Structure 1
C-alpha cells in the first residue's frame, strides 16, 4: 500500500484496519460490488485477530477461539464506492457474551471520516467436537474488552 495506515486516534473506539479495493472488485456499473463489503470486513477482522494470536490454520481442534460460526449478518449501504484505492474497515465489539459476541463495522474512507456501509455480525464460539456453543477463553475476552464500544 502506498497510503499511510490510519491511526487508532482517528476513531473514538475500536480499530481502523486498512483495506484495498481493486479494479476487479467493482461491478459493471463501476461500483464496489455489494458482496465485496462483507468479504473485506472479514479480511479486516482476520487481520485484527491475527495480531492477538487468534487464527485458523486448518485444524479445528487447535483453532481455539477461531472455531466460531456466523449466526447473523446485517449490513446497510450508505454511499457508493466508485473507485479502487485504499479504504478502511472500522471494527469494534458491541457485545461480548460468554459464548457469543456482536461486532459492529463500518466500511469507510482511509481516515474514517466517510462511511460507505455499516452493519453488525453475531458470532458464536463452537466446540470443535460437538459443534455446540462453548465459552471464549479469558485471553480472547481480554482482547475483546479492549475493542468494546463505550456505553453512550
Structure 2
C-alpha cells in the first residue's frame, strides 16, 4: 500500500476525524525514527482526547463509558516517522457492538495525506464493580455514528 492509498483498512479523511498529535524527541529511537511502540501510545492518546472532548469518561476519564479495556490492537507500518513535530491520528469506527467497539486508525501527516501506519483497536466496556462487559450508553452510540459507524449495530 502506498502512503496515500485509500482502502477499507484506511479510508480517506471524509470518514472519521483527524486528531492532532505531537511527536517529541523522547518518542524517537536511536535512529531518529518514531519508536514502533510509540505509534500505539499516540493512538491511545488521540482516542482519549477524542472522547474527552465530547464529555465521555467524566473527570477521571474512567467513569461510565470511559471504563473500558483494550482487547486487541494491531498496527501495520508503511513509512517511518522520521522526526519530531506535528502529526495526526485519523480515527474512525469500524464496528460497535453491545459492549465492544472496533475502531480503525492511521498515523498520518497533520493534513492526513501521508500514511505512516494503520491498524485497528478493539475495546470492551466494563462494569466498574463486577469487571464484566456492560453495554455502551446511547451517548457513545450517537458519537460513534459521527465518525463513520455503519447504521447497523452488532450484538457482541
TM range (shorter): 0.7 to 0.9
TM-score normalised by L of structure 1: 0.87
Query: Structure 1 CA distance, aligned partners of 2:60 and 2:119?
Result: 28
Alignment of 1:54-133 (within 5 A): 54-55=56-57, 57-58=59-60, 63-133=63-133
Deviations 1:98-148 (A, max 9, x none): 111100000000000000011001111101111010000001111111112
Cα pair distance change 1:53/1:136, threshold 3 Å: same
Q: CA deviation at 1:86?
A: 0.5
CA distance in 2, matches of 1:125, 1:115: 29
**When the two structures are aligned, how many residues end up with a matched partner?**
140
Q: For structure 2, list consecutive stretches of 5 or more residues without a partner in the other structure.
A: 1-11, 152-156
Q: Name the structure 2 match of 1:6.
A: none
- Counterpart CA distance in 1 for 2:66 and 2:139 is 12
Secondary structure in structure 1 of the residue aligned to 2:146: helix
Q: What do the CA deviations read for 1:3-49 (whole angstroms, capped 9, x no partner)?
A: xxxxxxx8111000111111111100111001110000111111110
Match of 2:146 in 1: 146
More helix as a share of residues: 1
Please give the per-residue CA displacement for 1:43-65, whole angstroms capped at 9, x wherever unaligned: 111111011111254485xx000
CA RMSD of aligned residues (A): 1.7
Q: Secondary structure at the match of 1:54?
A: coil
Contact 1:109-1:115 at 8 Å conserved across structures: yes
Matched residues in 2 for 1:149 and 1:125: separation? Answer: 17
The equivalent of 1:12 in structure 2 is 14
Distance in 1 (CA, whole Å) between partners of 2:149 and 2:140 is 16
